């Protein structure tokens, strides 16, 4: 141990010994002195906060004590004692600083600290206020990737809201629970939660709760392939948010519509909506959502052949996710980074990044994300001639998509498996599963998926010697890929068709570039 470390150790030891030698009553008074001194230095005690769960549109403004609020709460505890097991606190000063510390942690994206502080504050509260503190703890746990803990806290909050008869807060908590169950593969439960949330929003006359219900229902509908209904709901949320002057909600609705436009092949509309959404998010400082939609925009850039722009946009998204501690979103962005790495020839980096993304999705309980990454990793293995591993992961991905109920992703994964079957000579299986994939693509309106798998089907037909049918499938599939602007997919499918035609001893199909 060097001299400086030895000095620090001795100083800490002596300080602790001096503290322990103080009589309990003296310690209490000393903590009171420390509390008063810190408050004096920091501009005085902040004013009381409004009750949690009230109708106030904005959180209380930051205060000069906020950065030290957790320390001030501890001095308050040690200066006046703890809290009762239930009911109101004996120490309102501690409750005040716990509340401010929780808000400060949440504002600064310290999700673990925020969760702990909201939960600690809940012991000072009762009824709907206690429920709201637990709901916020649940939100922080979810942001930190702890889905099971978030669900447990939401259930506790819901019981308190019901007991207190607070329909608006119950509706909001049910929306969060619906989103959580959808994400973790229990779509059947989400619908019931949303039905009840909608009833409560209507009975309480809360326009904000009604918009929340519609937004979550839109997300569920999109995952289930009901794109028309999802678009109608998001358009409704967008108009209502604009009318109410809720710029953040407007930005989220625009971003959600952008993702829907992209997935249904409306590239120009998607890019415009992404631009509007990101401008609003930057203006309002809503960085969590900004990172999410930058990630999606990077995918659009990659699809339309703008790889350099895709990479720079994705790096911005990853930086935000990591800064804010968003594990789930980091997993999704890493999966997209792996795709770019593979396409640029960084195969070892791509596999490592896929594995990192898969570990994150499993850790946070994001079963939809896990299934998508399994499918991407399977396609990676297929490209690397690791056929047995590729087929196993495709089957795992497909099974998980079916459990989750995500028809759009199920169709995509069936198409990927059909391509593997074609490449390994199992043409009957390839034709069967490719046709099933096309049915799902058309059912959910996935134009890009339909275009890719029509082109794959054309190659299957070439290998089966059915050239006229192949020509028609290729003409239709390549036209769709041009329509949706998927330059990358069209180039890849064209190269693959050239090899397939050469192997079959025929000229390139009419209509191919």
Lowest mean pLDDT across 51-60, 138-147, 290-299, 363-372: 51-60
pLDDT of 502 strictly over 60:
yes
Using alpha carbons only, how large is the chain's radius of gyration in Å?
Answer: 28
Are the beta carbons of 453 and 416 closer than 8 angstroms? no
What 3-state class would DSSP assign to 437? helix
- Kindly report, residue by residue over 476-500, the tens digit of the pLDDT: 999 998 887 788 888 889 999 999 9
| Residue 59, H or E segment | none
Whether 242 contacts 280, CB under 8 Å: no
> Which pLDDT score, from 0 to 100, does residue 402 have?
86
Interval 443-468: pLDDT, tens: 877 888 999 999 999 999 999 999 99
Per-residue pLDDT, 4: 61
Number of Cβ atoms within 10 Å of the Cβ of 496:
17
Pick the range with the lowest mean pLDDT from 22-31, 60-69, 273-282, 369-378: 22-31
Do 406-513 and 166-281 have the same topology in CATH? yes
- How confident is residue 19, by pLDDT bands cut at 50, 70 and 90? low
Could you tell me which residue, 311 or 90, shows the higher pLDDT? 311
Least confident of 78-92, 196-210, 249-263, 402-416: 78-92
Averaged pLDDT score across all residues of the chain: 86
Stretch 242-258: mean pLDDT, rounded? Answer: 95
HEC string for 316-362: HHHHHHHHHCCHHHHHHHHHHHHHHHHHCCCHHHHHHHHHHHHHHHH
For residue 66, give the 3-state DSSP assignment. Answer: helix
Q: Which residue has the higher pLDDT, 181 or 169?
A: 169
Of 427, 437, 495, nearest to 461 by C-alpha is 427
Among 85-99, 239-253, 334-348, name the one with the lowest average pLDDT. 85-99
Q: If you write DSSP's letter for every residue of 120-139 in order, what string do you get?
A: HHHTT--HHHHHHHHHHHHH
pLDDT at residue 141, rounded to an integer: 86
* Residue 47 burial class via C-beta count within 10 angstroms: exposed 0-12, middle 13-18, buried 19 and up: exposed
Whole-number Å distance between alpha carbons of 146 and 364: 6
What pLDDT band is residue 183 in, cutting at 50, 70 and 90?
A: confident
Residue percentage of the chain with pLDDT more than 70: 89
Beta carbons of 274 and 290 less than 8 angstroms apart:
no
| 199 pLDDT more than 90 | yes
pLDDT at 147: 78
Instruction: Determine the pLDDT at residue 14.
Output: 53
Of all residues in the chain, the percent with pLDDT exceeding 90 is 56
- pLDDT tens for 75-122 read 888 777 544 444 445 688 999 999 999 999 988 878 889 999 999 999
pLDDT value, residue 82: 43
Give the per-residue pLDDT at 123.
92
Check: CB of residue 224 under 8 Å from CB of residue 407.
yes
Alpha carbons 99 and 120: distance in angstroms, whole number: 9
Domain ranges for the chain, please list them: 1-48+64-82+91-108, 166-281, 286-397, 406-513
Q: Report which secondary-structure segment, H or E, holds 89.
A: none
> What is the dihedral sign for C-alpha 383, 389, 391, 394?
negative
Longest dimension (CA), the chain: 96
- What is the DSSP secondary-structure string of 360-423? HHHHHT-HHHHHHHHHHHHHHHHHTT-HHHHHHHHHHHHHHHHHHT-HHHHHHHHHHHHHHHHH
* Angle between helical axes of 407-423 and 447-463 (0-180°, round to 10): 20
Whether the CA torsion 396, 397, 403, 407 is positive or negative: it is negative
Percentages (nearest 5) of helix, strand, coil residues in the chain: 80, 0, 20
CATH architecture of the region 406-513:
Alpha Horseshoe (1.25)
Contacts (Cβ under 8 Å, ≥6 apart) of 16: none
So what's the pLDDT on residue 20?
A: 58
The yes-or-no verdict on residue 506 having pLDDT over 70 is yes
Q: Which residues contact 56 (CB under 8 A, 6 or more apart)?
A: 50
Task: State which fold the 286-397 domain adopts.
Answer: 1.25.40
Tokens standing for residue 153: 């806290």
C-alpha–C-alpha distance, residues 186 and 370, integer Å: 14
Give the C-alpha distances (Å, rounded to integers) separating 23 from 18, 26, 27, 182. 10, 5, 6, 56
According to the CATH classification, is domain 166-281 in 3.30.210.10?
Answer: no
The terminus-to-terminus CA distance of the chain in angstroms comes to 72
Lowest mean pLDDT among 29-43, 246-260, 419-433: 29-43
In the structure, what pLDDT confidence band is assigned to residue 312 with cuts at 50, 70 and 90?
very high
pLDDT of 57 over the 60 cut: no
The structure's pTM equals 0.72
Closest Cα partner for 486 from 299, 255, 345?
299
Of 36-40, 53-57, 79-83, 230-234, where does mean pLDDT reach its minimum?
79-83
- CB-side neighbour CA atoms (13 Å) of 262: 21
> What residues have CB less than 8 Å from 283, skipping those under 6 apart?
247
Q: Average pLDDT of 352-359?
A: 94
CB atoms within 10 A of CB 489: 21
Residues 6+ apart with CB under 8 A from 101: 66, 69, 70, 73, 113, 117
């Amino acid at each position: 141990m060097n001299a400086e470390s030895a000095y620090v150790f001795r100083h800490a030891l002596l300080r602790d010994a001096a503290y322990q030698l103080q009589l309990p009553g003296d310690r209490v008074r000393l903590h009171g002195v420390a509390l008063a001194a810190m408050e004096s230095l920091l501009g005085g005690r902040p004013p009381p906060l409004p009750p949690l769960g009230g109708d106030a549109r904005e959180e209380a403004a930051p205060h000069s004590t906020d950065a030290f609020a957790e320390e001030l709460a501890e001095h308050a505890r040690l200066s006046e004692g703890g809290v009762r097991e239930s009911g109101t606190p004996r120490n309102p000063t501690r409750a005040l600083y716990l509340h401010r510390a929780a808000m400060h942690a949440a504002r600064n994206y310290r999700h673990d600290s925020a969760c702990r502080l909201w939960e600690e504050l809940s012991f000072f509260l009762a009824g709907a206020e206690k429920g709201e503190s637990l709901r916020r703890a649940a939100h922080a746990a979810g942001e930190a990737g702890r889905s099971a803990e978030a669900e447990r806290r939401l259930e506790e909050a819901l019981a308190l809201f019901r007991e207190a008869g607070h329909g608006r807060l119950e509706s909001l908590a049910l929306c969060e629970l619906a989103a959580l169950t959808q994400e973790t593969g229990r779509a059947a439960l989400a619908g019931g939660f949303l039905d009840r949330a909608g009833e409560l929003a209507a009975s309480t006359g809360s326009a904000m709760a009604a918009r929340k219900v519609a937004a979550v229902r839109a997300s569920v509908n999109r995952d289930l392939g009901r794109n028309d209904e999802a678009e109608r709901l998001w358009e409704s949320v967008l108009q209502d948010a604009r009318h109410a002057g809720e710029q953040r909600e407007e930005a989220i609705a625009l971003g959600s519509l952008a993702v829907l436009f992209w997935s249904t092949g409306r590239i120009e509309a998607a890019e415009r909506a992404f631009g509007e959404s990101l401008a609003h998010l930057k203006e309002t400082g809503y960085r969590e959502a900004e990172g999410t939609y930058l990630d999606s925009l990077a995918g659009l850039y990659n699809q339309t052949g703008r790889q350099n722009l895709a990479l720079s946009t994705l790096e911005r998204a990853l930086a935000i996710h990591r800064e804010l501690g968003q594990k789930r979103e980091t997993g999704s962005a890493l999966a997209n980074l792996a795709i770019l790495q593979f396409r640029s020839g960084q195969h070892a980096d791509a596999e490592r990044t896929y594995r990192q993304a898969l570990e994150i999705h499993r850790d946070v309980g994001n079963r939809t994300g896990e299934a998508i990454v399994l499918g991407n990793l399977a396609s990676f293995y297929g490209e690397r001639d690791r056929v047995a591993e590729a087929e196993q992961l495709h089957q795992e991905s497909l099974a998980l998509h079916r459990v989750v109920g995500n028809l759009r992703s199920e169709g995509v994964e069936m198409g990927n498996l059909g391509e593997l079957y074609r490449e390994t000579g199992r043409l009957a299986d390839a034709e069967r599963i490719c046709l099933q994939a096309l049915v799902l693509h058309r059912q959910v309106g996935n134009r890009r998926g339909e275009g890719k798998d029509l082109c794959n089907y054309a190659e299957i037909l070439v290998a089966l010697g059915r050239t006229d049918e192949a020509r028609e499938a290729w003409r239709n599939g390549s036209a769709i890929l041009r329509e949706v602007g998927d330059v990358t997919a069209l180039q890849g499918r064209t190269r693959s068709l050239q090899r397939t035609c050469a192997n079959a001893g025929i000229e390139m199909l009419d209509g191919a570039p």
